[in-house]
Structure 1
């Protein structure tokens, strides 16, 4: 993988395409920049969890967990599923898993 090289001779269309991707990446990074949201994603890497399960795993109140799940849902990182009164969440795709692997490599591997 190579990073794009920004230059003055780049076309406006190419620059706009890169700027759009940067905005999308910034939204993703903002969504995972909260410790609670990051921990939720860590738990969901192992599979679908109910809101109640996440509350217990995080030792957090339902309102706080729901607020963080809402942000992750808005960014398209998690997908809800309702089963009666219970709501379950899972990762929407493989992006959070890849990001968590990178974070682990950078910050946790030698611990």
Structure 2
């Protein structure tokens, strides 16, 4: 049975897209679950600006080393960030196109409102 009622401004997904999402729903849920923590989301926001080392992230996000390491570990374990070592420093970066796309969408939805408010002052 098909329902013809949709929310305003929502483009319905084709059946093929819904089938593809169904096949990868657990992967999508794991990514979203890892992002669903304020500190981790703020870390990802900083990484949209480019690669950062732990000291830079600590200063930018305001997390102390133990909490920072724990949150970065979750992001790394879920494949949202990748690392490289240079001397005594470990650098973090966004790990996939999907994560970059999600962060860009979040920025458009939430940061765009802030920027518009600031421009209106």
TM score, norm. by length of structure 2: 0.73
Note if 1:21 corresponds to 2:31: no
Whole-angstrom CA distance in 2 between matches of 1:42 and 1:28: 15
Whole-angstrom CA distance in 2 between matches of 1:43 and 1:80: 15
Which of structures 1 and 2 has the bigger CA Rg? 2
Can you give the 5+ residue segments of structure 1 that lack an aligned partner in the other structure?
7-14
Can you give the 5+ residue segments of structure 2 that lack an aligned partner in the other structure?
1-10, 115-121
Note if 1:34 corresponds to 2:37: yes
Which SS does the other structure have where 1:28 is aligned?
A: helix
**Equivalent residue, structure 2, for 1:88:** 91
Which of the residues 54, 68, 71 maps onto 2:71? 68
Q: CA deviation at 1:2?
A: 6.5
Whole-angstrom CA distance in 2 between matches of 1:3 and 1:103: 20
Whole-angstrom CA distance in 2 between matches of 1:101 and 1:67: 24
Whole-angstrom CA distance in 1 between matches of 2:56 and 2:90: 10
TM score, norm. by length of structure 1: 0.79
Q: CA deviation at 1:4?
A: 5.0
Deviations 1:38-97 (A, max 9, x none): 111111111111111100111110111111111111111111111222111111122222
Whole-angstrom CA distance in 2 between matches of 1:100 and 1:83: 26
